[in-house]
Amino acid sequence: MWSEKVKTGYKFVERYRDPLTGKTRRVSVVMERDTAQTRKVAQRTLDAKIQEAVTASDQPEKVTVSRLIEKYREEQAVTLKASTCRRNYWMGNLMMDVLGKDTLVDALSANYIRTRLIALDRTPEQKNEILKRFKGILKWGYKHDYIKDVSYLDKIEFFKAASHKEKIQDKFLEASEVADLLNGMNQPVWKCVTRILVLSGLRIGELTALLKSDVSFTDRLIHVTKTYDAVNGLVTDVKTIESRRDVYMQDDLVTAAREMNLLMMKQRMMYGYQTDLFIANEDGGHIKYYAYNKYLKDNSKRILGRSITPHTLRHTHASLFMEQGISVDAISRRLGHADSQITKEIYLHVTKKLQEKENEQIKGLKII
């Protein structure tokens, strides 16, 4: 310990090594005089400050659910696309609402999380999706040393959902349903968008982002290199490396794409705009995702008796190609993903359906 003369008296200073960083730090206290008595008092005060600082550095931060979500969002902001961050933002809010924003993450347990999920007014499928996302965030917290232990997560079982057959059938349309849906649509552009999505397997954001130069009728290829983020109004890179691909246009898709060209030419003449987009809104900008999504849901509900989304059309594309004997690997490359559990589930369902059809044909067959 040493002392330094200051305006208000004498500052007594002591050095110590921070056990967390290994760096040398200082603590100090100011006394009116520099005497043997004040030195003893100063030394005791400095020792207490050093002990408090060292003890505090040994104690991990008591992290709450809200603090965990805050740190999770900070990392996502620099590692993920804006659209993904926005989707995860609402999941973070839900996690704080369900588990309690001031709940300490180290106090969470399997029973507590499951009990809170049971109380939610959601379907079993929705609860399972929420549970999966909660587990992902908590495991992230463990990986980044915000949580001591997450082994209890393995004890939380998913809720019993609908049967496999019911669940997978809800994810795509049969060929007859596609025909009924298209026949019942009366808005030409949205009808053509629906046809192209079914025939191409494109994500709605990929279709929305296409430029005229991305659709080559000479090579019969659609060059997928970007996607449109409707939430943030941005054109961004495609979802994954596999998503960057060329989609070959079969005859029906070529016809649908040419039909869209004709509709867009009429629309440009009517509204007097110029655009490089393959499909444009009436002002020449990107088509409104939410307007199309509402149109699709309303019409599918009216015509088919159930609401579907643009992604349902992507699954429909996979199922229709499978029924034509196209391999799962070829379909996965066309859809732009390396691996898809949904694609595999659809394949198993379609395979079973075709086998049942074959069995029915064989049932009454007489060969001798």
The two three-digit tokens of residue 195, written as one number: 């046809």
Q: Of 293, 274, 302, which is closest to residue 190 (Cα–Cα)?
A: 293
| Residues near 160 by beta carbon (within 8 Å), at least 6 away in sequence | 124
- State the DSSP H helix or E strand holding residue 6, giving kind and residue range, or none if neither: strand 2-6
What residue has token string 């104690």?
Answer: 59
* pLDDT confidence tier of residue 230, bands split at 50, 70 and 90: confident
Return d(Cα 159, Cα 111) in angstroms, integer: 14
- State the DSSP H helix or E strand holding residue 3, giving kind and residue range, or none if neither: strand 2-6
The two three-digit tokens of residue 84, written as one number: 């993904």
Pairing relationship of beta strands 2-6 and 226-229 according to DSSP bridges: unpaired
Q: Residue 342 has what pLDDT?
A: 67
pLDDT tens, 72-96? 999 988 877 776 677 678 889 999 9
Higher pLDDT residue, 100 or 84? Answer: 100
pTM for the complete prediction? Answer: 0.62
Burial of 52 (0-12, 13-18, 19+ CB in 10 A): exposed
pLDDT tens, 16-35? 887 766 788 899 999 888 99
